[in-house]
């Protein structure tokens, strides 16, 4: 399944229109915290040209073996980035992520 999805991503994934400009102009620290494995996150960011914006600020549920809707990946990301949870904003694309 993963091999097929990676091949599909390689052929079809596109960044959301305008996202590069948003990331270029953000004046606050940001990261990505995903339920996907880190290699998938990095592949998708690389294919869309967004990887350079994130550096090491990539957090995967697979690393900590805790999945959304548990909030652990967000808490880990906040702590690593040097923030308290109440100082963070999360943009989420899934119901389980919103619950987290």
The enclosing domain of 10 has a CATH number of 3.40.50.1000
Closest CA to 88 of 22, 79, 97, 36: 79
Q: Which two tokens stand for residue 36?
A: 């996907």
Calpha distance 63→60 (Å, rounded): 6
Is the CB of residue 59 less than 8 Å from the CB of residue 34?
Answer: yes
pLDDT score of 2:
78
Closest CA to 71 of 59, 81, 82, 58: 59
pLDDT at position 38 over 90: yes
Position with higher pLDDT, 28 vs 5:
28
Q: What are phi and psi of 76, to 5 degrees?
A: -65, -45
The per-residue pLDDT for range 39-71, each reduced to its tens digit, is 999 999 999 999 999 999 999 999 999 999 999
Residue 3: pLDDT band by 50, 70, 90 thresholds? confident
Number of domains in the chain: 1
pLDDT score of 53:
98
* Domain interval for residue 58: 1-99
**pTM (two decimals):** 0.90
């Amino acid at each position: 399944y993963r091999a097929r999805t990676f091949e599909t991503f390689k052929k079809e994934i596109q960044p959301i229109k305008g996202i590069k400009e948003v990331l270029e102009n953000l004046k606050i620290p940001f990261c990505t915290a995903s339920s996907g494995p880190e290699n998938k996150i990095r592949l998708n960011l690389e294919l869309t040209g967004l990887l350079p914006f994130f550096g090491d600020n990539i957090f995967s549920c697979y690393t900590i073996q805790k999945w959304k809707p548990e909030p652990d990946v967000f808490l880990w990301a906040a702590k690593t980035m040097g923030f308290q949870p109440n100082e963070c904003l999360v943009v989420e694309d899934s119901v389980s992520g919103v619950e987290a």
